[in-house]
Amino acid sequence: MKMIKKCLYIAGFLCCLIFLVFCMFKNRLISTQQIDFSKKFLIAHAAGAIDDKTYTNSLEALDKAINNHFKFIELDLVETTDGHILAAHDWPSFHAITGHRHQQEPISLSEAKQRKIFGKYTPIFDEDILSVFENNPELILVTDKMNNFDLLERYFSPLKNRMIVEVFSIDKYNEAYKRGFPYPAFCVKKNIDRLNEALKNNVSIITFDMRAEHSFFEKIKQSGLISLGYTSNQLKFVQENTFINGIYTDRLVPQR
């Protein structure tokens, strides 16, 4: 009887251990099921251009991108003074395109909600982003500028497995994994040292500046990394560089 109890205790312990290990790695397991990187795709840069205006990060641009069959949509994210998220390239540019060029510093959610972009477009906030992406389960959210994982978890926790979170250091890359974001993308810009750092630290996904030299492109091509290049509006360039998995664009539109 003692031997049976001992075996049951050991079996229970092993089951708990297996469950804990599964929990530690479940995001990486789920990630292979959620985002398909095998097919080349376009990313609507800052939600894409609207009426020939770029970097609006506006609700109207987001709606247009969805109607144009984009599956990957990038939004720049900044933090308001009261802990909410606004889609904007940065605060000075948001102030400039909403008629308050003299301002530079962050403002509150309620203040930002009173603004119009270029006098007619609607700013997007955390609740809007969550609503749009929950109502369109095929969409993938690509983030930029924000590595505040507390805020990202607070507002976008249901979207974790459908988010590519751009990060700017290896520490943030590792933190993203630990916080349950399975697709951190390390920005190497066009810097060969940063690319080598990505390779050294077993990074899976990188973002890079497509104004880089040819030798830089060749090294990415040989690396086998999932690569997201920013930004191009030239169809020929996109077609020729088949090794790039995803390309940020303002004006190109995906085929259906």
- Give residue-wise pLDDT tens across range 14-71: 554 444 444 444 433 333 347 999 999 999 999 999 999 999 999 999 999 999 999 9
The residues spanned by each domain of the chain are 40-249
Please name which of 34, 50, 45, 94 lies closest in space to residue 74, comparing C-alpha atoms. Answer: 45
Calpha distance 61→50 (Å, rounded) = 6
pLDDT at residue 3 greater than cutoff 60? no
Calpha distance 243→222 (Å, rounded) = 9
CB atoms within 10 A of CB 148: 14
Calpha distance 126→134 (Å, rounded) = 12
For residues 74 and 143, is the Cβ–Cβ distance under 8 A?
yes
For residues 66 and 136, is the Cβ–Cβ distance under 8 A?
yes
Superfamily of domain 40-249: Phosphatidylinositol (PI) phosphodiesterase (3.20.20.190)
Tokens for 176, please give them.
């993203």
Please return the burial class of 34, using the count of CB atoms within 10 Å of its CB with bins 0-12, 13-18 and 19+.
middle
Calpha distance 221→62 (Å, rounded) = 31
pLDDT tens-place string over residues 193-209: 999 999 999 999 999 99
Tell me what the pLDDT averaged over the chain comes to: 90
